[in-house]
């Protein structure tokens, strides 16, 4: 069974920079996994931030960026704002089975 | 404005069936993959299934294969999820979302709650 792993929680100070990562149990994450990133706040539906590794949606704040880093997908938030406190999920595509798999989520705490 | 509105959730006994619907508006429905994602209470997101724009192919997570069927009616701008042989572990909020290119879920509905319990 394929497992996608994220940090359970990260803490960052307002104005700081933080990088969340997303790893695959099958090996290194490459562009062929087409990573997507989502933000979810309590009681709300998820909101899409990044698709296809590094592409932003029209509503994605400039401080969010996506990349590949050391065999993982990565979401970097530069100049963190208090409103960025939320759960963040990555989503990877597995072309061997034509399915997508979410990571377990990272709770970002802004303190 | 893109809108996705799910309906059909509720309480069902284990082994029972339920059909979820998602009404889409504000975009050309027939041009997009459509997707169901679920979230068990207090847990993370789980990708459940998707269906091609013309309805010619579907994909499912292993845990629902053979029990759930995703379908769509492009004439009615509607997406469906037929859920049979429901289990307690299927209890979740079910979200409808859309995909295009390698964007798997840009706009989302507010979800519909399915509770499987005796």
pLDDT in tens, B21-74: 999 999 999 999 999 999 999 999 999 999 999 999 999 999 999 999 999 999
Q: Measured between CA atoms, how close is A46 to chain B, in angstroms?
A: 7
| Contact (CB<8Å) A47/B108 | yes
What percent of chain A lies above the pLDDT cut of 70?
100
CA atoms of A14 and A81, how far apart (whole Å): 5
- Which residue in B59, B102, B108 is closest to A46 by CB distance? B108
Buried-exposed string B79-100: b where 16+ CB fall within 10 A, e elsewhere: bbbebeebeeebbbbbbbbbbe
In contact, A54 and A34? CB cutoff 8 Å: no
Token representation of residue A101? 């798999």
**Nearest CA to A106 among A83, A88, A81?**
A88
Compute φ and ψ for A102, nearest 5 degrees: -85, 150
Residues A12-64 pLDDT 10s: 999 999 999 999 999 999 999 999 999 999 999 999 999 999 999 999 999 99
Let me know if A34 is exposed, middle or buried by CB neighbors in 10 A (0-12, 13-18, 19+): buried
Asked if residue A6 has pLDDT above 90, the reply is yes
Residues in B whose CB is inside 8 Å of some CB of A read 37, 44-47, 50, 59-62, 95, 101-111
| Contact (CB<8Å) B59/A51 | no
- Which residue in A40, A45, A102 is closest to B47 by CB distance? A102
- Which residue in A40, A57, A91 is closest to B104 by CB distance? A91
In contact, A103 and A4? CB cutoff 8 Å: yes
Compute φ and ψ for B51, nearest 5 degrees: -140, 140
The mean per-residue pLDDT over the stretch B75-101 comes to 97
CA atoms of A70 and A68, how far apart (whole Å): 7
Q: Which residues of B touch A36 (CB under 8 A)?
A: 102-105
Residue-level pLDDT at A1: 87
Going from the C-alpha of A35 to that of each of A73, A74, B109, the distances in angstroms are: 7, 9, 21
CA atoms of A103 and A80, how far apart (whole Å): 22
């Amino acid at each position: 069974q394929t497992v996608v792993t994220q940090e359970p929680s990260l803490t960052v100070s307002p104005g700081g920079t933080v990088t969340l990562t997303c790893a695959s149990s099958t090996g290194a994450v490459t562009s062929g996994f087409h990573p997507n990133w989502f933000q979810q706040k309590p009681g709300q539906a998820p909101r899409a931030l990044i698709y296809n590794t590094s592409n932003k949606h029209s509503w994605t704040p400039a401080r969010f960026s996506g990349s590949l880093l050391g065999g993982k997908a990565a979401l970097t938030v530069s100049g963190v704002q208090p409103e960025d406190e939320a759960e963040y999920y990555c989503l990877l595509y597995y072309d061997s089975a034509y399915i997508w798999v979410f990571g377990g989520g990272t709770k970002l705490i802004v303190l | 404005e893109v809108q996705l509105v799910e309906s059909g959730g509720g309480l069902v006994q284990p082994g029972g069936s339920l059909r979820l619907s998602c009404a889409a508006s504000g975009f050309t429905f027939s041009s997009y993959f459509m997707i169901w994602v679920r979230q068990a209470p207090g847990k993370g997101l789980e990708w459940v299934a998707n269906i091609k724009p013309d309805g010619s192919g579907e994909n499912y997570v292993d845990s629902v294969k053979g029990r759930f069927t995703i379908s769509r009616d492009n004439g009615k701008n509607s997406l469906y999820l037929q859920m049979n042989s429901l289990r307690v572990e299927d209890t979740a909020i079910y979200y409808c979302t859309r995909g295009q290119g390698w964007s798997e879920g840009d706009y989302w509905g507010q979800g519909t709650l399915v509770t499987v319990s005796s």
